């Protein structure tokens, strides 16, 4: 796993560059689409490496909980299958420009709800990608501000969550985040 880049909020948020699927944490968060049946980007990487058990679990969630698909900002949890992470928390990020000005609130909801679900299940360590900043077109600069503010509010609410890793695919994405973050001091 590539080395940690920097940290915030007394080390409870740590930034990494590399592949999210390599992180051995309690749960990694998937930037899924509402079908939950797989896609490109980080979603594709998670299903490839995690194996069929994740897709099976997603199909059951579609059948029993969300027959019309997972709404934007919502979260569900499955096994991590063959991943080093125990669980995958799937969320659907907003498509930039498609939610009538509610994009920022929806992106914040993805992070907030992922932390809440993790805490409710007694999970202590999480790793998340830059939700919506790929195919869904969210500008990385804006996302950095929203994500850092959201985590600054949400992390103090969940004392059981020891570490939240933000995993960027390359150094440039990580640098943009660092330059635009607004973590509480």
The residues in 82-101 that bind ligand ADP, with binding defined as CB under 6 A, are 93
- Residues 6 or more apart whose CB falls under 8 angstroms from that of 159 comprise none
Contact 81, 54 (CB under 8 A): yes
Nearest to 118 by CA among 129, 107, 126, 110: 126
150 binds ligand ADP (CB under 6 A): no
**For this structure, is 43 an active site residue?**
yes
Catalytic residue, from 10, 19, 43, 56: name it. 43
Of the pair 40, 156, the CB lying nearest ligand ADP is at 40
Cβ 156 to ligand ADP, closest distance in Å?
26
111 binds ligand ADP (CB under 6 A): no
CA angle 180, 144, 23 (to 5 degrees): 120
- Residues 6 or more apart whose CB falls under 8 angstroms from that of 134 comprise 31, 41, 42
DSSP 47: H
Of 7-15, 68-76, 99-107, 131-139, which part binds ligand ADP (CB under 6 A)? Answer: 131-139
Of 1-9, 58-66, 111-119, 124-132, which part binds ligand ADP (CB under 6 A)? Answer: 124-132
Residues interacting with ligand ADP, by CB under 6 A?
19-21, 31, 41-43, 45, 93, 129-136, 167, 169, 173
């Amino acid at each position: 796993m590539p080395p940690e880049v920097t940290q915030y909020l007394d080390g409870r948020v740590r930034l990494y560059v590399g592949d999210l699927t390599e992180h051995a944490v309690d749960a990694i968060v998937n930037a899924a689409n509402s079908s939950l049946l797989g896609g490109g980007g980080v979603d594709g990487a998670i299903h490839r490496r995690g194996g069929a058990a994740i897709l099976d679990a997603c199909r059951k969630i579609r059948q029993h909980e969300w027959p019309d698909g997972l709404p934007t900002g919502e979260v569900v949890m499955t096994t991590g299958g063959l991943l080093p992470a125990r669980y995958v928390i799937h969320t659907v990020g907003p498509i930039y420009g498609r939610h009538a000005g509610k994009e920022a609130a929806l992106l914040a909801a993805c992070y907030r709800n992922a932390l809440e679900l993790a805490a409710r299940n007694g999970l202590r360590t999480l790793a998340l990608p830059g939700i919506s900043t790929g195919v869904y077109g969210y500008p990385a600069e804006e996302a950095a501000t929203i994500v850092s503010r959201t985590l600054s509010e949400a992390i103090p609410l969940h004392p059981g969550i020891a570490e939240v890793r933000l995993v960027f695919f390359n150094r440039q994405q990580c640098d943009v985040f660092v330059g635009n973050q607004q973590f509480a001091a």
